[in-house]
Structure 1
Amino acid sequence: MSTSGYTEATMADHPYFPPDLDLPGYTPNQIGVPILLASFAGAVGFACSVTSVVARTVRPGISKGQLLTAMWFVVCGCIHLFFEGYFAYHNANMPARMDLFGQLWKEYALSDRRYLTRDSFTVCMETVTAVAWGPLSFVIAWLVVTDSPFRHPLQIVVSLGQMYGDVLYYAIFFFDESVYGAVYCRPEPFYFWAYFVMMNGFWIVIPGWIIYTSVIETAKAFRVAEGSAKVKSL
């Protein structure tokens, strides 16, 4: 991708693609990229640490696998409800946002400018994610910590919803690019592979594994229940 097809007259005063993209009220970020990324990583680490302390206090014998699952859903809940909820609420004026979340979104938008243009799919998808999967993720985390069997059906529902939304997100990006020639991402490989592919890929790989484990556990429970029923009928 290059800017050779754009003249100086069509180049807008922002780093997003296409260069002639109109972003009313756009204000450049003032927080450096290392600080933005470190802030995000620090928030994720803090959420995991708090989850670990609470989980080990409530249930000292919690397994490593269940602890990691609880951490995952707490992180999901925080990102879905607060970070994506922020976008859903402020989607109309994202180019002008200058608080921490606003600048984080503008940094991520270098890989997908739809987050600055009030794209209908992105706004609706993120709103559903924030309203539905955000609170449910916290509920699941608590069910995991307390070793409730109800965590399995909810894990499947939320994880499937996360995967479905992510697949649609990827699919529409590539469909618009290949069919309509839409340009959403800057040409540097970093933005595509690190931001767009890797950071969203977590919500396909991890939910896929969680669905698999919950399906296996559910199948085992049904086998035990069916075995008990057969014994009682003898």
Structure 2
Amino acid sequence: METVLEATLNGTKSSPPLHPYYPLEVEIAGYIANEYSVIQLLLAFGSGCAAILSVTYVAAKRIRSQIPTSELLTLMWFVLSGCIHFFFEGYYAYNFKAMGGRQDLFGQLWKEYAYSDSRYLTQNAFVMCMESITAICWGPLSFIVAHMITTEHPLRHPLQAIVSLGQLYGDVLYYATSMFDHYYLEKSYWRPEAYYYWCYYVFMNLFWIVIPLILLYNSTTAGGRAFKALQKMDRSLQANGAIKKTL
């Protein structure tokens, strides 16, 4: 006959985990399972992104009918980024203390994504600070860059470089902190299924590595061309001034 202590220990060992997130022992305050299916959540998110891009495309064509394709794609990227940063990530920053129990659409989307990174449900300091900075800074500035593209504002490229560098820096730190915990502390925040790691954690965040790198390069080269033209103009003016003096 097992003792009370043994029964307690056996009961503890056989009890199911309180949530499906990894590590399984992590505490998630007020956790409630999602009501929407994965398909419903992905369709809702995809439909929202498609609607934002469609409206942006139509508006951009009306404001600047001859906008080049590369400029149009960049504008659409910044509008979509601004919406995701300000509204979706801003939602997380505002509600981070109770994400485990949120049952609205954004809350369930975050809980679905958290299968690849449970830090979003555990009031993690780095994730909260990173998302807050992203929502407050890069969200509004993305909208400003988009407006500057439509109006061909001369400060577009400096601001585009700043926003792109900020996005790139935040995403690199996001990957780096998680990888540090995984390889050095042997603590993983994603479920063992490859889908969550490769589709959610890697693929969905890779956009904010690749595209900001391209835009940062474009803005840097544009700035270089502008300074080169200015230097050429200065030399021409100086040469003309020297010729006038000799005359």
TM-score (norm 1): 0.95
Residue equivalent to 1:221: 226
Deviation of 1:178 after TM superposition, in Å, equals 1.3
Give the Cα–Cα distance (whole angstroms) in 2 for the partners of residues 55 and 129 of structure 1.
25
Residue equivalent to 1:8: 14
Residue equivalent to 2:152: 147
**Is the counterpart of residue 30 in structure 1 residue 35 in structure 2?**
yes
Residue equivalent to 1:186: 191
2:36 corresponds to which letter in structure 1? I
Give the Cα–Cα distance (whole angstroms) in 2 for the partners of residues 197 and 183 of structure 1.
14
Q: Is the 8 A contact 2:29 2:122 kept in 1?
A: no
2:202 to 175, 197, 202: 197
Give the Cα–Cα distance (whole angstroms) in 2 for the partners of residues 183 and 170 of structure 1.
12
Structure 2 runs not aligned, ≥5 long: 1-11, 240-247
Give the Cα–Cα distance (whole angstroms) in 1 for the partners of residues 58 and 91 of structure 2.
27
**Is the counterpart of residue 47 in structure 1 residue 52 in structure 2?**
yes
Q: Is the 8 A contact 2:100 2:121 kept in 1?
A: yes
2:85 corresponds to which letter in structure 1? H
Query: CA deviation digits over 1:98-141, x for unaligned, max 9?
Result: 00000000000000000000000000000000000000000000
Deviation of 1:7 after TM superposition, in Å, equals 3.5
Question: Aligned to 2:25, what secondary structure does the other structure show?
Answer: coil
Deviation of 1:211 after TM superposition, in Å, equals 0.4
Give the Cα–Cα distance (whole angstroms) in 2 for the partners of residues 42 and 57 of structure 1.
23
Structure 1 runs not aligned, ≥5 long: 1-5
Give the Cα–Cα distance (whole angstroms) in 2 for the partners of residues 42 and 8 of structure 1.
42
Deviation of 1:21 after TM superposition, in Å, equals 2.3
Give the Cα–Cα distance (whole angstroms) in 2 for the partners of residues 31 and 185 of structure 1.
20
Query: CA deviation digits over 1:67-119, x for unaligned, max 9?
Result: 00000000000000000000000000000000000000000000000000000
Give the Cα–Cα distance (whole angstroms) in 2 for the partners of residues 45 and 147 of structure 1.
25
Question: Aligned to 1:20, what secondary structure does the other structure show?
Answer: coil
Give the Cα–Cα distance (whole angstroms) in 1 for the partners of residues 219 and 28 of structure 2.
44
The two structures, once aligned, show a CA RMSD in angstroms of: 1.1
Residue equivalent to 1:110: 115
**Structure label with greater radius of gyration:** 2
Runs of 4+ residues over 2 Å off in structure 1: 6-9
Residue equivalent to 1:231: 236
Question: Aligned to 2:229, what secondary structure does the other structure show?
Answer: helix
Residue equivalent to 1:3: none
Query: CA deviation digits over 1:16-72, x for unaligned, max 9?
Result: 112222212111100111111111111111111111111111111000000000000
Q: Is the 8 A contact 1:12 1:22 kept in 2?
A: no
How many percent identity over aligned positions? Answer: 48
Give the Cα–Cα distance (whole angstroms) in 1 for the partners of residues 17 and 128 of structure 2.
24
